[in-house]
Amino acid sequence: MPQLDLPSGPPLFRQFPTALRFSVQEQSRNRLAALLLGLFVPVWYLLMISIAGNKDLEFKLYSTGEMLKVGGRNVTLITAGMNSLTMISGFVVFDAVRKALNFDRRLAFAGFRQSTLIGAKMMAIGIVTASIALYTALALFLFWRPGFTGWGAILLGFMAMTLTYGSLGLLLGVLVKNDLEGFFLIIMGGLTDTFLQNPLGNPAANKPVLQYFPSFGPMQFSVGSSLGDTVMWRYLGMGLAWAAAFALIGLVVFHFRTRSRRPTR
Amino acid sequence: MTVRPQHALTARDIHKAFGKHRVLRGADLTVEPGQLVAVVGENGSGKSTLLKAIAGTLAVDRGEVGLRGELGYCPQDPVLNSNLTVDQHLHYFAAAHRLTGLERADELVQLLGYEKYRTTAAGDLSGGTRQKLNLTLALLHDPDVLLLDEPYQGFDWETYLRFWDLVEDLHQRDKAIVVITHLVFEQERFDLLADLVDGRLTPRSSQEKEPSHASA
């Protein structure tokens, strides 16, 4: 809240490391998410490839227009990875942001600049979601060795996806009224989004309408780079644009919800 | 130019409705430095709503609030982060207030008797200890104006008495303090009792507490 006499303590920029440290801590202390990450990710990979089999599929690369002939097992591993990390990153950030909203407002009233809290929160989301993406990409090695460039592209695609769903978690965390609504939206959104991109589960996977889903860009980028030989940075950018849009709206709402409402004269 | 209010706290003509239910209908409250004021009223009369409005956590429909100095607000339900320990809360709020050290925090933790929980996450604390931390965060920066919404809920008798020692110390140091209370037997501790009835505050005349330098 606005204070008439600013204390003459440490400079304001010193608040940032404190806010960042505790923001990372609050987001990474989710035991259920850690359990999901440790167990669910490898089990989900295993389950999905056992369903997928190993027949070849056609995957449309939009940058070149070509139909790529790819192993169904490998595409399924990428969508399975994206599928699990959308849920986990969305859940982790949503849960932390929602539970801490009143606390963040108390911090802002106590003298934390909202911009500091917002910056720290966003950076913490970046760190936590990148760690989730890294783990999910490393777990992929249990089932597939795509080569360094291919794996690197999958990791980047995963990072764009975790950042997107982490940002969606932030947006829902400051918007929705109760846990169930948020979890439902994240799980249904993530499932629908990633399953639709896989031609194995969805015969319409190569249709243009899929371009309007958040996982379209990262999926094109990951498949094109690991299973084709086309690195399509623009498509990674599309994924990041979704992340930026969710984050921006979420942070604006966060700003409004943590501001002082006192009717000062 | 900003005109500083004369009093420690002034709330004028505060109106707040939730749908058709008009909770506050022109509540006025003035508190001077060194004055200890109790806000009393039935359940649902709007006591917490009034404090939230003054603290700025709730938007009002009409009215204005003036403050002189820094504010400390202890909400009725502890506002803590379950994932952070007691010590992490203290460091976080010390950074918020830009304090150079944790001396006051150490003092408060010791006074309220919960040193052994300093490394425990807030989510694992008992209700009473959560309330102690909630109160500590409101007092950490030694504010000039204090709003305490039933601050001793869940305290044991010993801690309750220590709480009043603490309030007495703040009172002596000219802090302006507003406490929401239900307890009849503690009402003699206050300089002024203000009843919240029908959305307005009225000083309790039967107390004859010399409301000479303040009025509700």
Question: Measured between alpha carbons, how far is residue B11 from residues A105, B45, B59 in Å?
Answer: 22, 17, 14
What are the tokens at B168? 């007495």
Cβ distance A260 to B96 less than 8 Å, yes or no, reads no
Whether residue B26 lies within 8 A of chain A, CB to CB, comes out as: no
Residues A57-74: tens digit of each pLDDT:
778 877 777 787 888 888
Cβ distance B79 to A110 less than 8 Å, yes or no, reads no
* Element holding B139 (H helix, E strand): helix B127-139
Cβ distance B100 to A5 less than 8 Å, yes or no, reads no
Whether residue A115 lies within 8 A of chain B, CB to CB, comes out as: no
**For position B1, what pLDDT does the model report?**
39
CA distance A2 to chain B (A): 9
Q: What are phi and psi of B208, to 5 degrees?
A: 50, 55
Whether residue A15 lies within 8 A of chain B, CB to CB, comes out as: yes
Residues A152-200: tens digit of each pLDDT:
999 999 999 999 999 999 999 999 988 899 999 999 998 888 888 777 7
Whether residue B8 lies within 8 A of chain A, CB to CB, comes out as: no
Angle at CA of residue A70, ends A206 and A132, nearest 5°: 85
Which of B42, B40, B32 has its CA nearest to residue B9? B32
A110: CB partners within 8 A, 6+ apart: B93, B96, B97, B137, B141
Choose the closest CB to A100 out of B55, B70, B81: B81
What are the tokens at A142? 């249990």
CA dihedral A45, A48, A53, A59 (to 10 degrees): -90
Is the pLDDT at B19 greater than 70? The verdict is yes
Give CA–CA dist A171/A89, Å, rounded. Answer: 13
**For position A8, what pLDDT does the model report?**
59
Residues B182-201: tens digit of each pLDDT:
776 777 889 999 999 999 99
Is the pLDDT at A1 greater than 50? The verdict is no
Stretch among A95-109, B121-135, B197-211 having the lowest mean pLDDT? B197-211
Whether residue A105 lies within 8 A of chain B, CB to CB, comes out as: yes
Q: What are phi and psi of A233, to 5 degrees?
A: -60, -35
**For position A265, what pLDDT does the model report?**
58
Cβ distance A4 to B4 less than 8 Å, yes or no, reads yes
Biggest alpha carbon–alpha carbon distance for chain A: 71
Torsion sign, CA atoms B128, B133, B137, B142: positive
Angle at CA of residue B183, ends B181 and B187, nearest 5°: 80
CA distance B143 to chain A (A): 11
Q: What is the chain B residue with the closest CA to A97?
A: B81
